[in-house]
Amino acid sequence: MKRRLIIFAKEPQEGLVKTRLRSLLSAKECSDLYKAFLKDTVSVAKRAACGERVIAYESFGRSPQFLKKMAPQFKFYRQRGADLGERMHNAFSDLNELRGWKTVIIGSDIPSIQDTLINDAFAYLETYDAVFGSSGDGGYYLVGINKPCGGLFKGIKWSSSVVMRQTLKKCIQLKLKARPIGTHDDVDSPEALARLKNSLKNSPDKKTAKWTRRFLKIS
């Protein structure tokens, strides 16, 4: 099975990333935290069992210099589309130059994600049409599909608490066999950051999210 992993990421430009954390952190600290998230996500992606790794980037008009320096062995693809659903569908479609690929997209706001979970997502795509990792805010941080399906991402109220629910309804309408997989928080709010800190402090695995631990000063 051909496996492709795509990370949706932004070039960490100060003042334009992690803006919902500005009540806690300065613009520079928000950028530095996101850089730590990116490093941890790329580290996990390198360990995942897949044949191709891609960063689908948004760079605010700039060249994604930080991303390319951090992951020189990855392929790079510029996101295109009016909303998240269109950007994900285009990534699945534009990169599907060869048939037979199982493709998984993950976000870059889950620094504690494990490569075993990504491997499980690929394995489920052997028997399911789609796989989703739900987030605590009602959305999802991971989506995998066997082949592009534009209808899956249409009519979804993005950035809302009903994203996962609406998407699963879409799967039923489109007769797609879907499989949920482990829940994680998208860390883009003060409450989610507090939960992440607590989780990392109490985790026996001190190797998880190394760069994020360093930024948050968690030993």
Q: Quote the pLDDT of residue 97.
A: 67
- The answer to whether domain 2-216 has CATH 3.90.550.10 is yes
The CA distance from 181 to 173, in Å, is: 20
| pLDDT single digits (tens) 38-73 | 999 999 999 999 999 999 999 988 889 999 999 999
Q: Quote the pLDDT of residue 98.
A: 56
The CA distance from 93 to 81, in Å, is: 12
Chain centroid, CA 165 distance in Å: 18
| pLDDT single digits (tens) 177-206 | 999 998 898 999 999 999 999 999 998 888
**What is residue 179's DSSP assignment?**
E
CA angle 117, 109, 64 (to 5 degrees): 115
- Say if residues 106 and 41 touch (Cβ distance below 8 Å): yes
Burial-class residue 3 by CB neighbours within 10 Å (0-12, 13-18, 19+).
buried
